[in-house]
């Protein structure tokens, strides 16, 4: 076999996707398998989205669109961001759609990171950030969420070109409060550091927590590339529809790359996302309320009763907990759990946090309760 590019050996496959597949293979042989591994809503998309999808296909909305997306959708995204964050963006020059939020993050990194630049990533992180940074030739620079106090010193580091923020966070559920964002914005004020703000879970925040974007703080809109999308908010993961907002030079650069890589987001998904943004505020609230009920009624009581160390899910739909004991092997834990109890979870190593495990509570209460009782049995609780 002829030689492959050196980069192939440097990049890891997505551990979350690999584990999800493993669990799905197990389910094919053992239908009783419960999978709480994938990061996707258990709901179907709202009915109007499904209707708009069919309508788009029937009425010939099946051709290439402009690279950034159809204008009505760009306008709807602009309106949504104005309503939710109070931020103004020009739909034509400062907003674009992407193939899922994932492509938006990659394009943003490609647009601002030079080979050898360091990109600050907070641990536990979403599994794809370090690999995407490496794909564009950058170097991931990690800081633990527990050590955020050290961030000021780290940001003085001259090689740091960008920082990735993810609030609410996958996998920890952590929400960065407006006062923390304000402090961070003050630190960044006199620095030439881009912020890539992954806000894909923006509407899913619990209790007194609120979602805010760092772009809302003085001087930050010009330095921030804000990423969000339809996947989590509207249960539209398979539609692959994300969006990016930022300074027009950055959006132009991202669109230039996109024009050579994937041309445009799916036309049908764009019309479906337009319907979602225009009609589905109530559906989003209902889904959020369902996650919150599971969190309050099932997850937190379980974690307390089992005496687990865990990160409080302030948003998103993940329960991230530490395996009890000294130096636990999270990979083995998840493999054995799948094998013995037919329960699929994701090892913390996927998020730069060995010894920890992520459970998604985007699952029906019945499945969740059964999954947790298997977990309790496996933990000997
Ligand atoms: C933190 C985070 N960012 C981005 C994405 C990507 O979302 P999408 O499915 O829209 O590509 C995910 C999906 O799991 C995520 O958890």
122 beta partners: 143
Indicate the number of domains in the chain. 2
Domain ends where: 279, 314, 332?
Answer: 279
Percent of the chain whose pLDDT exceeds 70: 100
Q: Are residues 303 and 248 in the same domain?
A: no
The residue among 345, 358, 104 whose CA lies nearest residue 230 is: 104
> What is the maximum alpha-carbon separation in the chain?
60
CB of 168 within 6 A of ligand 1: the answer is no
Long-range contacts of 277-281 (CB under 8 A, 24+ apart): 277/73, 277/76, 277/77, 277/79, 277/80, 278/76, 279/46, 279/48, 280/46, 280/48, 280/49, 280/234
pLDDT band (50, 70, 90) for residue 20: confident
Contacts of 157 (CB under 8 A, 6+ apart): 118, 141
Reported as a pLDDT band with limits 50, 70 and 90, residue 19 is: confident
- pLDDT for 18 equals 82
Measured in Å, residue 231 CA sits from the centre of ligand 1 at 7
**What's the chain's average pLDDT?**
96
Please give the distance, rounded to the nearest whole angstrom, from the Cα atom of residue 228 to the centre of ligand 1: 9
Q: What is the pLDDT of residue 78?
A: 98
In a domain, 22, yes or no: yes
Instruction: Tell whether 175 and 55 lie within a shared domain.
Output: yes
Instruction: Report the pLDDT averaged over residues 268-297.
Output: 98
Residue 222 lies in a domain: yes
Mean pLDDT of 195-204: 98
- Is 237:276 a contact under the CB 8 Å cutoff? no
Q: 316 and 174 in one domain?
A: no
Asked whether residue 63 falls in the same domain as residue 211, the answer is yes
Are residues 104 and 178 both part of a single domain? Answer: yes
Q: Hey, which of 100, 101, 262 would you mutate to test ligand 1's pocket, going by the most ligand atoms within 8 Å of its Cβ? A: 101
Query: Is residue 286 a part of any domain in this protein?
Result: yes
| Pair (199, 80) in one structural domain | yes
Please give the angle made by the CA atoms of 275, 278 and 283, to the nearest 5 degrees.
Answer: 85
Q: What is the mean pLDDT of residues 366-375?
A: 96
Boundaries of domain holding 316: 6-45+282-379
Tens-place pLDDT, residues 155-186:
877 789 999 999 999 999 999 999 999 999 99
Count of C-beta atoms within a 10 Å radius of residue 93: 15
The verdict on the CB of residue 166 being under 6 Å from ligand 1 is yes
Indicate whether 329 and 217 sit together in one domain: no
List CB contacts of 289: < 8 A, sequence separation 6 or more: none
Residues 275 and 326 in one domain: no
Calpha distance 263→23 (Å, rounded): 33
Ligand 1 pocket test, pick from 20, 40, 200 with the greatest ligand atom count within 8 Å of Cβ, gives 200
Question: Is residue 81 one of the residues assigned to a domain?
Answer: yes
Inside any domain, residue 289: yes
Pair 53, 40 in one domain: no
Determine, yes or no, domain membership for 95: yes
Confidence of residue 148 (pLDDT cuts 50, 70, 90): confident
**pLDDT for residue 1 is more than 90:** no
Ligand 1, pocket-test mutation among 18, 99, 100, most atoms within 8 A of CB:
100
130 CB within 6 A, ligand 1: no
The pLDDT tens digits of the residues spanning 298-349 come to 999 999 999 999 999 999 999 999 999 999 999 999 999 999 999 999 999 9
Residue 230 CA to residue 66 CA, distance in Å, equals 19
Query: From the CB of 197, is ligand 1 less than 6 Å away?
Result: no
Residue 107 has pLDDT above 90, yes or no: yes
Residues 252 and 367 in one domain: no
Let me know: does 354 contact 330? Beta carbons within 8 Å. Answer: yes
Residues forming beta bridges with residue 229, ordered by sequence position: 242
3-class DSSP state of 298: helix
Which pLDDT value is given to residue 149? Answer: 79
Confidence of residue 268 (pLDDT cuts 50, 70, 90): very high
Q: What is the pLDDT of residue 158?
A: 72
Residue 243 backbone zone (phi > 0: left; psi -120 to 50: alpha; other: beta)? beta
Q: Does ligand 1 come within 6 angstroms of the Cβ of 173?
A: no
Q: Does residue 1 lie within any of the structural domains?
A: no
pLDDT computed for residue 147 by the predictor: 84
pLDDT one-digit tens code per residue, 54-73: 999 999 999 999 999 999 99
Find the CATH number of the domain harbouring 137: 3.40.640.10
Average pLDDT over every residue of 91-116: 98
104 lines ligand 1 (CB under 6 A): no
Taking the C-alpha atoms of residue 216 and residue 231, their distance in angstroms, rounded to an integer, is 23
Q: Which among 279, 294, 326 is the end of a domain?
A: 279
Question: Is 81 exposed, middle or buried (CB count within 10 Å of its CB: 0-12, 13-18, 19+)?
Answer: buried
Same-domain status, 197 and 302: no
Q: How far apart are CA 38 and CA 18, in angstroms?
A: 10
* Ligand 1 mean position, distance from CA 102 (Å): 5
The last residue of a domain, from among 279, 305, 322: 279
Q: For residue 183, what are the contacts with CB-CB under 8 A and spacing of at least 6?
A: none
> Quick one: tokens of 276?
């979602």
Report which secondary-structure segment, H or E, holds 9: helix 6-10
Q: Is 301 left (phi over 0), alpha (psi -120 to 50) or beta?
A: alpha
Please tell me whether residues 77 and 206 are part of one structural domain: yes
Q: Extract the tokens encoding 279.
A: 């009609």
Q: What is the mean pLDDT of residues 11-19?
A: 83
Domain containing 30 — which CATH number?
Answer: 3.90.1150.10
Q: Which tens digit of pLDDT belongs to each residue from 208-233?
A: 999 999 999 999 999 999 999 999 99
């Amino acid at each position: 076999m002829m030689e492959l590019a050196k980069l192939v050996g440097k990049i890891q496959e997505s551990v979350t996707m690999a584990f999800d597949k493993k669990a799905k293979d197990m389910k094919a042989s053992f239908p009783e398998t419960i999978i709480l591994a994938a990061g996707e809503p258990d709901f179907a998309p709202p009915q109007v989205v499904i209707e708009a999808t069919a309508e788009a296909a029937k009425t010939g909305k099946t051709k290439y669109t402009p690279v950034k997306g159809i204008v009505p959708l760009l306008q709807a995204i602009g309106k949504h961001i104005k309503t939710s964050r109070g931020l103004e963006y020009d739909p034509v020059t400062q907003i674009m759609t992407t193939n899922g939020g994932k492509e938006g993050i990659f394009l943003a990194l490609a647009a601002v990171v030079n080979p050898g630049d360091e990109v600050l990533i907070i641990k536990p992180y979403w599994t794809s950030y370090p690999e995407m940074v490496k794909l564009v030739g950058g170097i991931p620079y990690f800081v633990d969420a527990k050590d955020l106090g050290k961030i000021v010193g780290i940001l003085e580091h001259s090689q740091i070109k960008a920082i990735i923020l993810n609030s609410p966070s996958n996998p920890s559920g952590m929400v960065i409060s407006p006062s923390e964002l304000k402090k961070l914005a003050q630190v960044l004020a006199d620095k030439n550091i881009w912020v890539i703000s992954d806000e894909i879970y923006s509407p899913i925040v619990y209790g007194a927590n609120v979602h805010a974007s760092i772009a809302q703080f003085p001087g930050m809109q010009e330095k921030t590339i804000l990423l969000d999308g339809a996947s989590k908010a509207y249960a539209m993961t398979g539609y692959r529809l994300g969006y990016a907002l930022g300074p027009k030079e950055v959006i132009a650069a991202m669109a230039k790359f996109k024009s050579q890589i994937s041309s445009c987001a799916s036309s049908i998904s764009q019309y479906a996302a337009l319907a979602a943004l225009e009609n589905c505020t109530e559906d989003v609230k209902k889904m959020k309320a369902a996650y919150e009920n599971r969190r309050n009624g099932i997850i937190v009581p379980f974690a307390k009763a089992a005496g687990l160390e865990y990160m409080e899910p302030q948003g998103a739909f993940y329960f991230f907990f530490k395996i009890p004991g000294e130096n636990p092997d999270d990979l083995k834990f998840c493999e054995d759990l799948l094998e013995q109890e037919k329960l699929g979870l994701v090892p913390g190593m996927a998020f730069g946090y060995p010894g920890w495990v992520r459970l998604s509570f985007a699952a029906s209460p019945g499945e969740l309760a059964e999954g947790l009782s298997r977990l309790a049995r496996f933990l000997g609780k």
